[in-house]
A = this chain, B = another copy of it.
């Protein structure tokens, strides 16, 4: 239902009708709609993980790998727009904590970026690489999120992919140069 009607289009009564039970019975399967959304998000994240893994098969330089991953992320978001959006649009009450399995799911994603980064910057520590990975992911995510947003200027997907590829390459080049300058300041 999220995939077809968006997160806002997910209603317990409609859902109950679709799976053939009373609306109250939904609460035998999940405690909340929050949990329901998180469980759908978990599946989506797993599919995203598989997609990114598939993009890593061929042997490429770390730079090319990172570009390929970013493009794969963009494509996945475009092809699974509502499911992907639901993961980021969903907000829980401030006092309710994310379940551990949901946090784990999310952290798994950074693995994909971490590996090529570690190859590019062997002198950096685990902590530092983790931060860089998160920054890189966030930047690409931002481009995809605003790029796929319809409400301002709609960007055609091919243009968006080109933009992302260009900026990821630029970011990595820039990071490498900064790293070199820091190592041997002439």
- Residues of chain A whose beta carbon lies under 8 Å from any beta carbon of chain B: 6, 8, 89, 91-92, 94, 98, 103, 106-107, 131-132, 134-143, 145-147, 151-153, 155, 159, 163-164, 166-167, 169-175, 177-178
24 pairs, A vs B, C-beta closer than 8 Å: A6-B94, A8-B91, A92-B151, A132-B163, A134-B146, A135-B143, A135-B163, A135-B166, A137-B146, A138-B143, A138-B145, A139-B140, A140-B142, A142-B142, A166-B175, A170-B171, A170-B175, A171-B171, A171-B174, A172-B174, A173-B173, A173-B174, A173-B177, A174-B174
The 7 closest A-B pairs by CB, nearest first: A142-B142, A170-B174, A174-B174, A139-B139, A173-B174, A138-B146, A138-B143
Please give the distance in Å from A98's CB to the nearest CB on chain B: 5
Oligomer copy total: 2
Given the interface contacts A106-B152, A142-B145, does A131 sit within 8 Å of B163 by beta carbon?
A: yes
